[in-house]
């Protein structure tokens, strides 16, 4: 019984990654500083760097499309500032 419940709990877990990046038109001073530093380290062919955020979310749900809906809500309610940021959800 214990093993079965463990199996079920594993089955119910869906895992997603969320990548949050600044929109193209928003200045990213941190990315610029990282880029300059890499340039100074001799990475001369470096063209552009944009810095972002990464979240991993585990959710207790069997239905993937329902789970994705919930993750989208999490993004839009809290994780992402839609004025300046874009996000991408991936199943992992």
What's the closest the beta carbon of residue 62 comes to another protein, in angstroms? Answer: 28
Q: Are strands 13-22 and 85-91 parallel, antiparallel or unpaired?
A: antiparallel
As a whole number of Å, the end-to-end CA separation of the chain is 28
> Interface mask (CB under 8 A) for another protein, residues 3-32, using x and -?
-----------------------xx-xx--
Q: CA 47, CA 36: separation in Å to the nearest integer?
A: 10
Told to check if 38 binds another protein by CB under 8 A, we report no
Told to check if 78 binds another protein by CB under 8 A, we report yes
What's the closest the beta carbon of residue 68 comes to another protein, in angstroms? Answer: 21
């Amino acid at each position: 019984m214990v093993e079965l419940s463990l199996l079920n709990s594993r089955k119910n877990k869906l895992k997603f990654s969320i990548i949050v990046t600044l929109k193209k038109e928003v200045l990213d001073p941190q990315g610029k500083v990282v880029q300059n530093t890499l340039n100074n380290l001799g990475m001369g062919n470096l063209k552009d760097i944009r810095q972002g955020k990464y979240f991993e979310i585990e959710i207790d749900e069997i239905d993937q499309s329902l789970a994705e809906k919930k993750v989208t809500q999490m993004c839009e309610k809290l994780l992402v500032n839609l004025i300046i940021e874009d996000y991408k959800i991936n199943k992992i």
